Structure 1
């Protein structure tokens, strides 16, 4: 994909429930009429990593970035109401030149129009070597797989809520490490599955059992859709991390926020087999040392590390089994 094309954050669409918004006036009961306030702002390219890191820490995922060959690009936000817009933009004023009175920069857009823009600009691409992402406009659309060389695999995706494109560096890190360390018939647990890309990759490669977990019902619904159009049998669980999870796994993968990854690191030992591997991504480089100290304290051994830009991921081996065994599912 060339540098003038449009890319979307790894969890761009609406990852919320209607009730969670407290009855925001901008949100309609008809899902097809969900409205957003779209704000498109010019940014300096060198600021992008800082801005995205800030958005990730806020767990704000409704944005897109239009990269240009010049030093300036555009970032577009999709807000549920004016208060959310004001709060976030006020915080970002230190990174972006923002005039909050520039009304021509903002407009209301429905989810249907937003999705039309998404499907128009988002094209098939090679996520990591040998793994292609093929977006489909409609679940019922009949589309032939891309002609992939060297036995590569294709993951079909339908844009929608909790849609993860696989373009973000953290997702690529997790996918690359997963592809390298998975083995035939391995039992794989995906914590924070989002649209199910990592689970789908594991299943396509040849995992024995794959379980996809997310605390967001909309994300789980999207993951199920991904698995259905790819003809994959993958178990899904709505759970806050490991709360509703049972069984033991050869591999546990998680691409999520640093603070949450620390909890994943600590709790995973009860579900990870002896010598099982934990694949984690979403760590900002400045927190690598802190994270690895926590890993060592919790009796993990570092197997491999991978860095892309300002993001870091690693593979940890469970060198000491703790906690009681769980009934397998």
Structure 2
């Protein structure tokens, strides 16, 4: 599959940009830094796709044709948290650490972002062996794969974007991980009850998730919500409180906050 890659200088705050993309249901993008520290936005379009409307007046720095094989060339293995290594090269063998072979694809999460790192940090802390885990907005499937490698007995990963679902399925196969991956708009297609629910998406989406998450959890379930900009932490915590969840722990990196909650 071939894509057009358009590179733009980043002209707005990252959280504002993410909100605009979610509003237009566009997920094929990535934010990077060049060697000079300049923040760049890379957008990937299939032949039939057009730019999201809010980018129509942005002038790209460059444009080229690319394929999925090009997307992981510059990434090297790295330890996302202590004891968990992400390996985009798919060549590393370690017996003393959890190794996740990951083809990031585009925009769906390499593990480099602090929201992903904080999610993994709390998965290590709260996931119990034989837990049933649900990853909502799974992207590459990185959190679901790590959950299985940490000892979860059953893992389901869902995402609203079909391309993310296909990438997550591919990554699960590469890691020899048995998990269910399917398309679902939040919890619409989800049945069953889970011991731990993790979601690394935007604050506004967490508000919708909280409307239905009680249906798929029990009184001892743990809920990990990441991807929250600090200016919107209060609205998420208030909605959670209304739905019967109390704060166990929080962690913040830069402007991003991750919350761990349990039923009140």
Query: What does 1:222-261 correspond to in 2, within 5 Å?
Result: 222-261=167-206
Does the 8 Å CA contact 2:28/2:106 hold for their aligned counterparts?
A: no
Question: Cα distance, 1:177 vs. partner?
Answer: 1.1
Query: What does 1:255-274 correspond to in 2, within 5 Å?
Result: 255-274=200-219
Query: What does 1:1-329 correspond to in 2, within 5 Å?
Result: 31=1, 33-36=2-5, 38-41=6-9, 51-59=13-21, 61-68=28-35, 72-78=37-43, 80=45, 84=51, 87-88=54-55, 90=57, 100=59, 105-107=61-63, 109-112=64-67, 115-116=69-70, 118-136=71-89, 143-145=91-93, 147=94, 151-160=96-105, 163-319=108-264
State the aligned residue count.
Answer: 257
Please state which structure has a larger fraction of its residues in helix: 1
Root mean square deviation, CA, Å: 2.5
Q: Quote the Cα distance in structure 1 between the aligned partners of 2:128 and 2:260.
A: 14
Q: Quote the Cα distance in structure 1 between the aligned partners of 2:65 and 2:16.
A: 26
**Per-residue CA distance 1:102-143 (angstroms, 9 max, x = gap):** x7x333x1122x742x33311111111211100137xxxxx3
SS in 1 for 2:178: coil
TM-score (norm 1): 0.71
Structure 1 residues 163 and 57: CA distance shift in structure 2, 3 A: closer
TM-score (norm 2): 0.88
Question: Cα distance, 1:83 vs. partner?
Answer: 6.5
Does the 8 Å CA contact 1:115/1:159 hold for their aligned counterparts?
A: no
Please state which structure has a larger fraction of its residues in strand: 2
Runs of 4+ aligned residues of structure 1 deviating over 3 Å after TM superposition are: 79-83
Gaps spanning 5+ residues in structure 2: where? 22-26
**Per-residue CA distance 1:272-300 (angstroms, 9 max, x = gap):** 01121111001110111222111111111
Rg comparison, structure with higher value: 1
Gaps spanning 5+ residues in structure 1: where? 1-30, 91-97, 138-142, 320-329
